[in-house]
Amino acid sequence: MKKYKLKYQYIPLLIAIFVLLPLLALSFFYNKSLKPQEVKEDDYVNEEIIDRSLPVINTKKTIINPFIDTKVKEEKYYYDYKADEENQINSIIARDNTYTQNTGIDYVSDNAFDVVAILEGTVSSIKEEDSLGKTVEIKHDNGLISIYQSLSEISVKKGEIVTQGQVIGKSGENEVDKELGNHLHFEIYNNGKSVNPNNYLNKEVTEKEEN
């Protein structure tokens, strides 16, 4: 049998190969593990995750007062047959020796104040009468209608979409309620029925009372 002798000049090369091969293998697998893997859209973006990713925001609306001036006060109440005698007396309106039940609330102040929309909605009517002053009617969602009467100025137009808190006019005076001076007569209707505004103001739309 013929014997092969390993030449001395190849020994360093072989040693280098045996040492470098494991290092190269480790380097290859390490780099591969660090490389970002391709992610398919279907792997993660599905209907369930889209639903979970919706922002958590309180979308409920709170009905606000029709004014922002803290000096404004309630002078004439809405007539409520369930109220006590004192409140009922203060909700009777005397006009030409005729007494009628107040279908809204009268807010008064020494100075004219801004009148604002209690909710977003569409201006459905604008009227101007000598006896009642200027009137703005706004139609809201859920069958609600708000009416702002005895205005001295109007800042909106019929058909205009208004936002909650938007100034729609200024309080004023009228011939019918002279004794009140500068004031706002405010009404709310729910599905065509007059309701007590105090059962709606400063409450969430879903929590309003149907009285």
Mean pLDDT, contiguous 10-residue spans, the chain (211 residues): 54 62 63 53 48 55 96 90 69 67 91 97 94 94 94 97 98 89 96 94 77 52
Has residue 18 been placed in a domain? no
pTM: 0.69
Has residue 38 been placed in a domain? no
Among the listed residues 113, 112, 115, 89, the one whose alpha carbon sits nearest the alpha carbon of residue 102: 89
User: Do residues 103 and 78 lie in contact, with contact meaning Cβ atoms separated by under 8 Å?
Assistant: yes
Phi, psi of 8, rounded to the nearest 5 degrees:
-60, -30
Has residue 20 been placed in a domain? no
Has residue 159 been placed in a domain? yes
Q: How many CB atoms lie within 10 A of CB 106?
A: 21
Return the pLDDT at 49.
44
Residue with tokens 């004219």: 112
Has residue 33 been placed in a domain? no
Find the domain containing 145 and state its range.
73-207
Cα(19)–Cα(36) distance, integer angstroms: 29
Q: How many separate domains does the chain show?
A: 1
Rg (CA), the chain: 38
Has residue 57 been placed in a domain? no
Q: What is the CATH number of the domain that holds 102?
A: 2.70.70.10
Has residue 27 been placed in a domain? no
Has residue 25 been placed in a domain? no
